[in-house]
């Protein structure tokens, strides 16, 4: 019979006492008693303690520091801590790694670790001192750099054309009906963008002759529908046959009266004198104030006149009031009386309307300029509909494309001023604030004008005054006008049922 007693295995001698019962004493260096002292440093250039959770960064990386002032700093916090650390925030950035970009930021108020003080101690055994100084704590984060071919390393135009021709031949031979239509549409757009007005190239004639009759008719109908929809929108009329972006929306079409109106504008000579004397020009427009000095130093009188007309239209938009039930439709605006409007549009110094300073320094605009603006944008007499307001905003957006990002870069005589030879570009951020619009609305206006909206390239950081590296460029947007234009596509309906 089996025994009721459970057998117990005896442990081997090797299983016992595997770990020592006492910890091994560490071989610490015996130091003499040290005299501790706290270094009272009020500079913002304090030591940095960097942590890299989840990422291992090389010690040979060089970091670019950027410092900005903090908002809403209390006096009690500056009295208890280093004022330089409390009143400023540091950002570390490095792109020297071959595959990754690193950004280091300090903790915010919601971070529990940001409420702690961090110190660095320096021990000097010879002098028997121990100095402690307050430090910043930065958390480093890494992101894999996207490998996108730059424009300088792109293939030559010949190779691109060869590859495109081979791809087109394969699509026409083996592609589906939808893919063949897409290839035909791309070829038509390319021909329309590069051919002079009223001419058809050999490649375009060959393409048209190879298309079936019904396909040609369908493409023509689609172009007619797109043109009809574009003409019905409250937008400046573009020249679709233009060979350069500067000819798409010319000054003659954007400014009522053209260059003759620009020559009658008051305040342009005053701006030029202030810029030459080194005096800051103040206006109520953020867009104009940030560019008037650079435009005045470029000695391009046309650019300065266009900037003055942009400021005039911004003042015109700011002077409008709600029309209530008297307007031609919902969200309509009411114009001020004619004499009052003339004084508002004549103001270039930023003084408040009706003040003694404004009345003593303002030279009134000619009546023809005020009448031209009223006839162009106020189609209902003393009121402006929502359609008229959109036309005013999109006209201002189109005018800003004529102001280059760096007016003096090409000596002032060139219309490029830092732009690429095949594009006109502008940053819509200041204009968004002047018109009191959100980012989506101002970007949609530029898309309706045929612009592309994208982030600044790394080679353009200096041109757009980007000092925060990739982190700042990721939040910025630039509107670019290129040939061929890219308008929002017309919806044909027929959604899912």
272-305 pLDDT, tens digit each = 999 999 998 889 899 999 999 999 998 889 999 9
Looking at residue 12, its pLDDT comes to 63
Residue 443's pLDDT is 94
DSSP secondary structure code for residue 14 in this structure? G
Domain boundaries, the chain: 32-144, 158-232, 245-482
The phi, psi pair for 90, rounded to 5°, reads -110, 145
The answer on pLDDT for 154 being more than 50 is: no
pLDDT at 310: 95
d(CA 117, CA 82): 10
What pLDDT score does 184 carry? 80
Distance of CA 411 to the CA centre of its chain: 25
CA 333 to CA 339: how far, in whole Å? 18
Q: Which tens digits make up the pLDDT trace of 212-253?
A: 555 445 555 655 666 666 677 889 999 888 889 989 999 999
Cα 83-87-90 angle, rounded to 5 deg = 110
Mean pLDDT score across all residues of the chain: 78
Q: Which of 27-36, 239-248, 352-361, 378-387 has the lowest mean pLDDT?
A: 352-361
Residue 387: pLDDT over 70: yes
The answer to whether the pTM exceeds 0.75 is no
Position with higher pLDDT, 266 vs 100: 266
User: What is the pLDDT, as a whole number, of residue 208?
Assistant: 54
316-to-10, 131, 258 alpha-carbon distances in Å: 98, 63, 18
For 479-496, b where at least 16 C-beta lie within 10 A, e where not — what string? bbbbbebebeeeeeeeee
Over the Cα atoms of the chain, what is R_g?
A: 33
Give me the mean pLDDT over the 451-460 stretch: 91
Of the chain, the percentage scoring pLDDT greater than 70 comes to 70
Check if the beta carbon of residue 314 is closer than 8 Å to that of residue 287.
yes
Nearest CA among 145, 138, 142, 144 for reference residue 54:
142
Q: Is the peptide bond before 484 cis (omega within 30 degrees of 0)?
A: yes
Average pLDDT over residues 364-373: 92
Query: Residue 37, Cα to own-chain centre: how many angstroms?
Result: 48
Burial (CB count within 10 angstroms: exposed 0-12, middle 13-18, buried 19+), residue 277: exposed
Q: How many CB atoms lie within 10 A of CB 121?
A: 11
Between CA 374 and CA 316 the distance in angstroms is: 9
């Amino acid at each position: 019979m089996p025994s009721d007693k459970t057998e117990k295995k005896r442990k081997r001698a090797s299983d016992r006492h595997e770990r020592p019962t006492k910890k091994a004493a560490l071989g610490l260096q015996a130091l003499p008693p040290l005299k501790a002292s706290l270094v009272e440093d009020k500079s913002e250039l304090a030591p940095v303690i960097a942590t890299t959770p989840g990422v291992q960064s090389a010690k040979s990386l060089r970091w670019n520091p950027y410092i900005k002032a903090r908002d809403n700093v209390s006096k009690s916090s500056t009295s208890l801590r280093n004022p330089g650390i409390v009143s400023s925030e540091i950002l570390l950035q490095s792109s020297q790694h071959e595959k990754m970009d690193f950004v280091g930021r300090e903790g915010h108020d919601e971070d529990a670790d940001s409420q702690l003080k961090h110190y660095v101690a320096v021990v000097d055994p010879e002098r028997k001192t121990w100095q402690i100084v307050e430090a910043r704590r930065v958390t480093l984060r890494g992101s894999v750099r996207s490998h996108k071919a730059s424009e300088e390393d792109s293939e030559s135009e010949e190779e691109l054309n060869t590859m495109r021709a081979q791809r087109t031949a394969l699509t026409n031979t083996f592609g589906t009906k939808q893919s063949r239509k897409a290839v035909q549409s791309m070829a038509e757009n390319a021909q329309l963008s590069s051919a002079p007005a009223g001419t058809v190239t050999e490649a375009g004639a060959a393409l048209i002759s190879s298309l079936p009759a019904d396909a040609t008719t369908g493409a023509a109908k689609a172009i007619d529908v797109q043109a009809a929809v574009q003409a019905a929108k409250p937008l400046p009329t573009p020249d679709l046959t233009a060979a350069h972006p500067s000819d798409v929306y010319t000054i003659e079409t954007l400014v009522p009266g053209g260059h003759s109106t620009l020559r009658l504008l008051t305040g342009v000579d005053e701006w030029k004198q202030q810029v030459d004397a080194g005096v800051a020009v103040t206006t109520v427009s953020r867009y104009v104030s940030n560019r008037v000095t650079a435009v005045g130093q470029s000695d391009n009188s046309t650019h300065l006149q266009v900037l003055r007309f942009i400021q005039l239209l911004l003042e015109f938009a700011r002077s409008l009031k709600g029309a209530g039930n008297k307007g031609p439709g919902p969200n309509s605006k009411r114009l001020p009386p004619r004499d009052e409007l003339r004084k508002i549009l004549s103001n270039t110094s930023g003084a408040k309307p009706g003040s003694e300073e404004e009345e003593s320094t303002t030279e009134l605009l000619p009546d023809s300029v005020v009448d031209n603006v009223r006839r162009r944008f106020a189609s209902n007499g003393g009121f402006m509909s929502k359609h008229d307001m959109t036309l005013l905003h999109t006209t201002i957006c189109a005018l800003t494309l004529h102001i280059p990002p760096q007016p003096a870069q090409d000596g002032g005589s060139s219309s490029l001023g830092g732009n690429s030879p095949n594009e006109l570009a502008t940053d819509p951020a200041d204009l968004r604030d002047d018109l009191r619009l959100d980012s989506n609305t101002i970007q949609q206006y530029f898309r309706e004008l045929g612009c592309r909206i994208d982030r600044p390239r790394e080679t353009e950081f200096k041109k757009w005054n980007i000092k925060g590296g990739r982190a700042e460029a990721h939040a910025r947007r630039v509107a670019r006008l290129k040939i061929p234009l890219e308008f929002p596509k017309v919806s044909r309906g027929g959604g899912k049922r």
